[in-house]
Structure 1
Amino acid sequence: MTEHAHHHEQSNSEPAHSRHLHSEHGRAGDAHAGHSHDPGHSHATDAELAQMLDLDALILGSYLADATAWAAELAVHEPETILDIGSGSGVGSLALARRFPAAHVTALDMSAQMLATTLESAAGSGLDGRIAGLQVNLNEEWPASATADLMWASSSLHELADPERTMAEMFANLNPGGLLIVIEMDGLPSFLPDRLQEGSAVGAGLESRLHASLASNGWNQYPEWTAGLERAGFAVERRHFPTRGSATPELAARYGRAFLGRIAPTLAGAVSPSDLASLELLLGNGPESLERRGDLVVRGHRTAWAASKP
């Protein structure tokens, strides 16, 4: 998600068991997919995840407009059926429904609570009846009803035990001339400005070091998907979507507290005492706290693959 923490490449032949920290989706797979296997935050509830995903979309959601516009540009014909694979809190489902007003969107997720959140959001956004939910574990058999003109897999494909198998299933269940959009976060979100205020007790370069520690433990890893998608039969294009968030100080602080509070347990003993002290200052109530800083800048980047079926 940040310009400082780039993703780590793996072999496309390896199962992509990533410790993915934060995604707008990512609950398509088994009980270990969609964050529950991340060290240090298995306690997080679906409601807590949904809140953070919604904050991400609110602040960094311009990529949703850009990526759905790209899908509309590449689609051979206006899609009538869309699958949001690993839909999470449903921000992608809503964006797709708005971009393609004639389409019916089905959100696929392993969490009944996340699907309920998606449907509630759809009703509150005037999209009731255009979005349906399907509870599914994609590490098991692909659901027979899950065919579509357009498939969308945002930060979810790498959560599966066998992404190569799933890509082949996607190809088989995508209608002729259909399109699959795969999106991944390039790193973890960053909040501190490039240059800290003079005299700040928070150490310079803190976020880069925290991100590096998480990356060394496998967080936010995924393959470069091009070769795997091509092996499944797709023709593939790739695009980068950089995003500098637009947020009030209050929203930026809320997102920062949700994210940094989520990673803090994992970092204990993994980073220096001084960096842990800086993190405690940010999450505390003093003058260096997120709510009192006033200099937060939320940044996050995505990479997307457009995979076309002849």
Structure 2
Amino acid sequence: MTPAHEHTPHHGGSHGRHQEHDDSGQAEILDLDAEVLAEHIASITAWLPLKVEPRQVVDLGCGTGAGTFALLEGFPEAHVTAVDASVGHLRLLREKACARGVSDRVRTVQADLDTSRWPDLGTPDLVWASASMHHMAHPDRALRSVYELLAPGGLFAVVELDGLPRFLPADAPEGRPGLEDRVHRATDGFHAEHVPHRGADWGPMLAAAGFTVEAERTITVDIEGDIEGDIESDRGEAIGRYAHRSLQRLRGAAAPALGPEDLAALDELLDTDSPHSILRRDDLAVRTERTVWAARRT
């Protein structure tokens, strides 16, 4: 369900009506998000207030598998049913599962979660939805479907983002400081129309669907791309590609609302042959926030 001009990290998002199902550019961003934010995803799975280790898990809007593989690693006895609307993303997830030797613990299901009738996903102990619920056209209905899906006492983990990550320092780029914030503001109208539930407080909606919200946590992410004496070059390179692909995706939605000087500066950042390309910068970081709600079916 990810719109063509927006990415959803991470974590892996839910992908349906607005998405081109075999979008390799979106898959690359999801993979970069998983690589750069792997430690934060693992910390969320470790934080969940589970009464027993889950054996059956459903990952709703799994994307290319960031959450799926974190769940498999965090819960060694678990089997994960990974659900997404994108055939291409599910194919990539299966390929990764084979490469990691965990294909026997993963089942993929292609489904549009905005339909009123979901496929048989079993009776999971844990349902995970990372950056996917805000894409639902009918979130109240989807929450009720999750409630009915879960085993009694089961846990629903909703991980959501307030906005897309920032990468540049405030005084960048030279000559157009603050450009990145203006690019994000220029997409506000697009996102308000296509993903109106992004940034919502899911606590009241979970309670209305019958869940008991047991815990809520906001995680601040601030990952430097280049820390002298304490940096692996692979991480800095991944953050550069993550920043480039993310801003490239935003350009289409931002362009109509950007002034010509800002648009020219953005295009220079995105030009991989330019000496001012974002890929050549050594001052990048990943800054974002994610909120987690842990809700139980009583």
TM-score, length-scaled by structure 1 = 0.84
Residue of structure 2 in register with 1:296 after alignment: 284
SS of match in other structure, 1:269: helix
Equivalent pairs, count: 280
Instruction: Verify the 8 A CA contact 2:5 2:249 in the aligned structure 1.
Output: no
- Deviation at residue 18 of structure 1 after TM alignment: 8.0
- Deviation at residue 150 of structure 1 after TM alignment: 0.1
Residue of structure 1 in register with 2:6 after alignment: 21
CA distance in 2, matches of 1:95, 1:20: 26
Once structures 1 and 2 are overlaid, which stretch shifts more, 214-223 or 174-183? 214-223
- Deviation at residue 145 of structure 1 after TM alignment: 3.4
Distance 1:166 1:211, change over 3 A: same
Residue of structure 1 in register with 2:275 after alignment: 287
CA distance in 2, matches of 1:123, 1:241: 31
Find 1:120's aligned residue among 95, 109, 123: 95
Instruction: Verify the 8 A CA contact 1:17 1:160 in the aligned structure 2.
Output: no
Are 1:242 and 2:220 matched, yes or no? yes
- Deviation at residue 301 of structure 1 after TM alignment: 1.8
Are 1:143 and 2:119 matched, yes or no? yes
Instruction: Verify the 8 A CA contact 1:60 1:244 in the aligned structure 2.
Output: no
CA deviations 1:20-53 (Å, max 9, x no partner) are 821133335x423xxx2xxxxx6x9422211111
CA deviations 1:62-88 (Å, max 9, x no partner) are 2211110112xx112111100000100
> Normalized per residue, which structure has more helix?
2
The one-letter amino acid of 1:153's match is A
Residue of structure 2 in register with 1:7 after alignment: none
Instruction: Verify the 8 A CA contact 1:168 1:232 in the aligned structure 2.
Output: yes
The one-letter amino acid of 2:278's match is L
The one-letter amino acid of 2:72's match is A
- Deviation at residue 309 of structure 1 after TM alignment: 1.4
Find 2:254's aligned residue among 250, 254, 267: 267
Which structure has more RCO (C-alpha within 8 Å, separation ≥ 6)?
1
Task: Give the fraction of aligned pairs with identical amino acids, expressed as a percent.
Answer: 38
CA distance in 1, matches of 2:238, 2:283: 12
The one-letter amino acid of 1:244's match is D
- Deviation at residue 259 of structure 1 after TM alignment: 1.0
Are 1:69 and 2:57 matched, yes or no? no
Q: Structure 2: any 5+ residue segments left out of the alignment?
A: 226-234
Instruction: Verify the 8 A CA contact 2:81 2:121 in the aligned structure 1.
Output: no
- Deviation at residue 177 of structure 1 after TM alignment: 1.1
Residue of structure 1 in register with 2:166 after alignment: 190
Q: Which runs of 4+ in 1 moved over 6 A?
A: 16-20
SS of match in other structure, 1:31: coil
Residue of structure 1 in register with 2:184 after alignment: 211
Instruction: Verify the 8 A CA contact 2:81 2:108 in the aligned structure 1.
Output: yes
Q: How does 1:80-159 map to 2 (within 5 A)?
A: 80-140=55-115, 141-159=117-135
The one-letter amino acid of 2:118's match is W
Are 1:31 and 2:6 matched, yes or no? no
- Deviation at residue 251 of structure 1 after TM alignment: 1.9
Find 1:181's aligned residue among 134, 145, 157: 157
Q: Structure 1: any 5+ residue segments left out of the alignment?
A: 1-15, 37-41
CA distance in 2, matches of 1:273, 1:20: 20
Are 1:255 and 2:232 matched, yes or no? no
RMSD, aligned α-carbons: 2.2
CA deviations 1:198-240 (Å, max 9, x no partner) are xx23x11111111111123225642211111001111112211
Distance 1:139 1:291, change over 3 A: closer
SS of match in other structure, 1:230: helix
